[in-house]
Structure 1
Amino acid sequence: MNVLMLISDDLNSWLLENPERYVGRVIAPNLKALAQSGVNFKYAYTSAPVCSPSRTAFFSGVAPWKSGIYNNAQSISTSTALNQDAVLSLAGLFRKSGYATFGYGKITHGWDQKQHWDDHVGHKRDPAPPGAPLAGLSRGEQDWGKIHLTEDQMNDTLGANKAIAVLEEQHDKPFFLAYGSFNPHMPWYVPQKYFDMYPLDQIVLPELKEDDLEDLPPLAKAVSDGLGSFADKVIRSGKHKEAVQAYLATTTYVDTQFGRVLDALEKSPYKDNTIVVFLTDHGFHLGEKHHWQKTTLWEEGTHTLLMFRAPGVTQAGGVSERFVSLLDIYPTLAELCELSPPATIDGRSLVPLLKDPMAPWESTAITGLCDKSKTDLAYVSIRHELGRYTRYGSDEEEFYDTSKDPHEWTNEISNPKYATIVKKLRTLVPSFEETAQPVPSALTAERRKTQNERKKSKKGETKTERSK
C-alpha cells in the first residue's frame, strides 16, 4: 500500500458542518468528498494546540508530556525523549521499510529527520502584498486581503504541483507522499475570487458570550488573552465579518489545492492501493473565549479534522464519534502497511475504528500545553464522552458538560452534580515523564557560556583556514 498524507495548517472543524458550534457555509467540496469516501473522525484532537509541538508529536509518535515540547519557542534539541536513537519519524519508518519518501510544503515544524526523505521541499510563506497590512489592524501575520500573486505563483500551489508530479510518475516501489499547506495560517492572502465566494452579507459569525471568561480560573484567563486582545480588537473594530470571510476564503483556496492532488491520485494507477489520510494540526479561534488563532485547551483550539480512506479496509460514508488523537495516526499507518513501529511511539492504532467506526474505544484525546512564561508548568485537557476536563498546573481546573454545553460556556468544576465524573477524568491525566523543555532565552548562564565558547572556537578555526 502507498500512503498519501495531506496536512493543513490552522484549519478548524467548521467544514464538518456541526450545527451545535457553527452554522455558516464552508465551501470545501474536495475535503467533504474525501470525508464521505472513507471514515471521518468527528471527534479528533491534537496532542498540542500549536504548530511545532503538534507536528513533532504526530510525526515522531512521542507525546508532549514525554518529550516536554509544548510550544514553538522551546528547544527541541534538548528533549531527551526525542533525541534517543530509537525514535524514528513517520517518514523514517517508511523509508527504512523500503518505501520511497516524498515531502512537500508544511509537514513538520522544528523536528524532522531530514535524512529520511528521498525528496523534500519545506514550506515558504507567500510574500506580503504591497501596502500591507491590508486590514489595518495589526502589522505582521495578523492580516488579510487580496494577494498580489497569481494562484499559480503561490507556494501552496507549487507544493501541490510537486505532489501531483510524484503521482504522475512510474514507481518501482511503494511510496509515502506527504503534502502540507501553510494556509489557512495567518496572514490570509488569497486571490480575490475566493473572497467573492463569501459575500459579507452572508457571513455567519461564531456565537460569542460576552462574560465567557468570568467563571475561569486565573491561568485559564491568561491563556485566553482576555479583554483587549486581538480578538476583541477585531470585534470592536467592526471587521469581524471581514476576518471570518478571509478565513473562509483561504479555507476554500486550500481545499482547491488538496482537490488537485486528490484528482491526480484518482487519475493515477495508484488510486486502488493508496491510503489517504487528511488531518489538521490543531484548531483555530475566531473570537471565541476572547481569543484569536490557537494555543488554548478549549474545543476551538484542540478540535481537528481527521479522515482516512484505506482501500479494502474502510467503507464510504463511515463516521466515527469516538474520541481520538492525532497521536493515533502513526500506529494506524504502521498497521495498515504491515510495518513494525518503534517502541517509543504513543497512541493507539485506529484500524478497529476504520473497520467499524462505532467499535468500542476508550478515549485517547489528550492535549497538553505549557505556560508561556513558566515553561516547567504544564497544562492538560482530557476530551471524553463524559465531557472536557482541564487542569492548569496542580490545582486550577475546568469541567464542561459538552453534551449540554457544546460551546463550553459554563465551567461546572464546582458543581457537585459532576463530582463523580470529574474524579474519573482526573485519573486519565497522563504522568509527566519530562517537564516542559526550556526556551532558548531561558538557558542557564553556564550553557550560554559554553555556547559562546564554541562559537568563538569555530570563528578561530575559520580564520585559521582563511590564513592557510
Structure 2
Amino acid sequence: MKATYLFFALLLVSIQAEEQPPAASSTAKPNVLFLISDDLNSWLLENPERYTGKVIAPSLKGLAESGVNFKYAYTAAPVCSPSRTAFFSGVAPWKSGIYNNAQTIGKSAALNQDAVLSLAGLFKKAGYGTFGYGKITHGWDQKEHWDEKIGHKRDSAPPGHPLAGLSGGEQDWGPIHLTEEQMNDTGGGNKTIAILERKHERPFFLAYGLFNAHMPWYVPQKYFDMYPLDEIVLPEIKADDLDDLPPLARAVSDGIGSFADKVIESGKHKEAVQAYLATTTYVDTQIGRVLDALEKSPYKDNTIVVFFTDHGFHLGEKHHWQKTTLWEEGTHTLLMFRAPGVTKAGGSSERFVSLQDIYPTLAELCGLTPPDYVDGRSLVPLLKDPKATWESTAITGLCDKRKTDLAYISIRHELGRYTRYGTDEEEFYDTTKDPHEWTNQIDNPEYASVIGKLRAALPKDPAAPLPSALADRRGGKKSKEKKRGNP
C-alpha cells in the first residue's frame, strides 16, 4: 500500500514538474522584454522644467526606479516610420534617407534586405524565440525573423465621432464605446502575457508595442475621470515663439492658425490635455499588466526589460500639435532599462543618448555581436555607472514633407540644441538657461564657439531624403508601370 502511494506521489510530482516552466539558469542567455509606446511624451518623468502637472503612471515610474532611467533620450526621427525603421534596423535616417512617413523605404540602398539585419533577426540567428505583438515596426521589417508577429490595429471610432468636434480623422478624443478588454492594445498585452506564461526551452525576444498614445485618444471613461478638468495643468506657450525662427523652421511648426491654435482658441485645450493624460494612464495600465506577469513568471530574474517611446509629442508648444519637429517636444523620449546583474535600482542618467543606442546595448547585454554598420553606441557603460563619461549620441533627422529634397538635422547636447535646416538655416538654444527653447541664439556672438562645436558634431554629408511614395503615385507613366507590377 505504501509502495503504491509512493508511486502515485512521485508520478504527480513528475507531472507537475513537466507543467511548470523551468527556472532560469544563471548561465543561460538572458531573455528580452522589449516594450514600446507610440507618441508618448516625457511628462511622466516629473521634470518641472518641462511640465508641472500630475501624470498617473505608477507602472512606468516603478520600472524607471527599478533600473536605469535615461533623463535625456532622443529619437533618431520624430515620426513613427522613420524612427522605428532606424532603431530596429540600426541604420540612422541620415544614412538611409528615410526621414518621414511618406517616403518609399524600398528605395533605400542602405536598408537593402540582404545587407541589413533587424534587431529581431539578430536574436533569431542567435537561437532566440522571437515574438512581437502590436505596433513595433512601421514600414520596414523582416517578417521571416519572427516566430510569431501580430501587428497592431486601430480601435474602431465611437459612434457619433468626431467627439471633440474640431476635426475629422485622427485628431479627435473622447470616451471609447468598447470595454477595455475589447481594445486592441489590451489584446496585445494579453498575447504578450501568454508568452510569459508559456514554457520556453530557449531564450526569447518578446516585443509588445502599443498604438496608444497615438491620436485619436479613445480610452474608457474611467481614465478621463482620473484627471478632473479643473486640475489640468497646461504646457507653457509663448505667443511670439515663432518670431525668431528661420523660414524652414517656421514652416515645420505649422505656424499661426495651425490645429494647435484651433484647439487653444476653441477653449478645448484642457480637454485635449486631459484626453492625452487619460491615454497615457491607459498605456501605463497595460504595461503594468505585462510587468506583473513577468514578475510572476520564472523568467523574472533572467529577463532584460527595456521601455521607450518612438518620439515625443507637442500639445500646443511652438504652435504645433503631435510630432514632426526638431524641438524638445518632438524629439525627447522615454527610455529605461532593467538588466539583471548589470543595473541597480534607482539609477538615473543625465547623459544625452539616442534610441539608436538600443540595438547595440541589447546585443552586448546578451553576448551577441551587432553588424558593423549599426549606428549608435552600447549604453552598457551607463547601465553600470549612469554618470560615466559619454559623448552625446542624441542626433535627430527630419525632412519637411513639403520639401523632401532637404534634410534637417539636430543635436541635443550638454551645451544646448543646435539645428540645421538644409544648408544655411540654423537654430541654437542654450537649454541650460532656456529649457523651453524660446530664444534662438544663433546670431549671438557669445555662443559662437559652442555653435561651432555642435556644427562639427553633426553627421557629415547626411543622405538626402528619398522620394515620397505619394509622389510615385502621382508620377504619370512611372506610376502606371508600378501599378501594373513592372519593375
TM-score, scaled relative to structure 1: 0.96
Query: Is 1:293–2:308 an aligned residue pair?
Result: no
User: 1:290 offset after TM fit, Å?
Assistant: 0.1
Query: Is 1:194–2:243 an aligned residue pair?
Result: no
Decide which of 384, 387, 392 is 1:363's aligned counterpart: 392
Query: Is 1:242–2:278 an aligned residue pair?
Result: no
The gaps in structure 2 that reach 5 residues or longer are 1-29
Is contact 2:175–2:220 with CA below 8 Å preserved after alignment?
yes
User: 1:433 offset after TM fit, Å?
Assistant: 4.9
Is contact 1:66–1:432 with CA below 8 Å preserved after alignment?
no
Query: Is 1:88–2:88 an aligned residue pair?
Result: no
C-alpha distance after superposition, 1:28-74 (max 9, x if no partner): 00000000000000000000000000000000000000000001110
Q: Secondary structure at the match of 1:278?
A: strand
Structure 1 stretch 441-450 or stretch 187-196: which is displaced more?
441-450
User: Which residue of 2 is the match for residue 55 of structure 1?
Assistant: 84
User: Which residue of 2 is the match for residue 252 of structure 1?
Assistant: 281
Query: Is 1:386–2:415 an aligned residue pair?
Result: yes
Letter in 2 for 1:454: G
Cα distance in 2 between the residues matched to 1:433 and 1:211: 32
Letter in 1 for 2:485: R
Letter in 1 for 2:159: P
User: 1:180 offset after TM fit, Å?
Assistant: 0.4
Is contact 2:131–2:148 with CA below 8 Å preserved after alignment?
yes
Is contact 1:8–1:183 with CA below 8 Å preserved after alignment?
yes
Percent of pairs with identical residues: 80
User: Which residue of 1 is the match for residue 405 of structure 2?
Assistant: 376
User: Which residue of 2 is the match for residue 166 of structure 1?
Assistant: 195
User: Which residue of 2 is the match for residue 18 of structure 1?
Assistant: 47
Cα distance in 2 between the residues matched to 1:433 and 1:364: 15
Cα distance in 1 between the residues matched to 2:477 and 2:372: 35
The gaps in structure 1 that reach 5 residues or longer are 458-468
User: 1:448 offset after TM fit, Å?
Assistant: 2.7
User: Which residue of 2 is the match for residue 37 of structure 1?
Assistant: 66
User: Which residue of 2 is the match for residue 213 of structure 1?
Assistant: 242
Is contact 2:357–2:376 with CA below 8 Å preserved after alignment?
yes
Letter in 2 for 1:253: Y
User: 1:446 offset after TM fit, Å?
Assistant: 5.8
User: 1:449 offset after TM fit, Å?
Assistant: 4.9
Decide which of 284, 293, 312 is 1:283's aligned counterpart: 312
User: Which residue of 1 is the match for residue 16 of structure 2?
Assistant: none
User: 1:340 offset after TM fit, Å?
Assistant: 1.1
User: Which residue of 2 is the match for residue 181 of structure 1?
Assistant: 210
Cα distance in 2 between the residues matched to 1:16 and 1:454: 49
Query: Is 1:413–2:442 an aligned residue pair?
Result: yes
Query: Is 1:321–2:323 an aligned residue pair?
Result: no
Q: Secondary structure at the match of 2:301?
A: coil
User: Which residue of 1 is the match for residue 296 of structure 2?
Assistant: 267
User: 1:453 offset after TM fit, Å?
Assistant: 4.5
Is contact 1:48–1:70 with CA below 8 Å preserved after alignment?
yes
Cα distance in 2 between the residues matched to 1:441 and 1:192: 38
C-alpha distance after superposition, 1:405-438 (max 9, x if no partner): 0000000000011000001000011023532110
Query: Is 1:138–2:167 an aligned residue pair?
Result: yes
User: Which residue of 1 is the match for residue 377 of structure 2?
Assistant: 348
Q: Secondary structure at the match of 2:202?
A: coil
Structure 1 stretch 223-232 or stretch 339-348: which is displaced more?
339-348
Query: Is 1:448–2:479 an aligned residue pair?
Result: yes
Q: Secondary structure at the match of 2:101?
A: coil
Q: Secondary structure at the match of 1:272?
A: helix
Is contact 1:8–1:280 with CA below 8 Å preserved after alignment?
yes
Which structure: larger Rg? 2
User: 1:376 offset after TM fit, Å?
Assistant: 1.8
Is contact 1:70–1:368 with CA below 8 Å preserved after alignment?
yes
Q: Secondary structure at the match of 1:279?
A: strand
User: Which residue of 2 is the match for residue 464 of structure 1?
Assistant: none
Is contact 2:39–2:212 with CA below 8 Å preserved after alignment?
yes
User: Which residue of 2 is the match for residue 307 of structure 1?
Assistant: 336
User: 1:84 offset after TM fit, Å?
Assistant: 4.7
Letter in 1 for 2:286: Q
Letter in 2 for 1:159: G
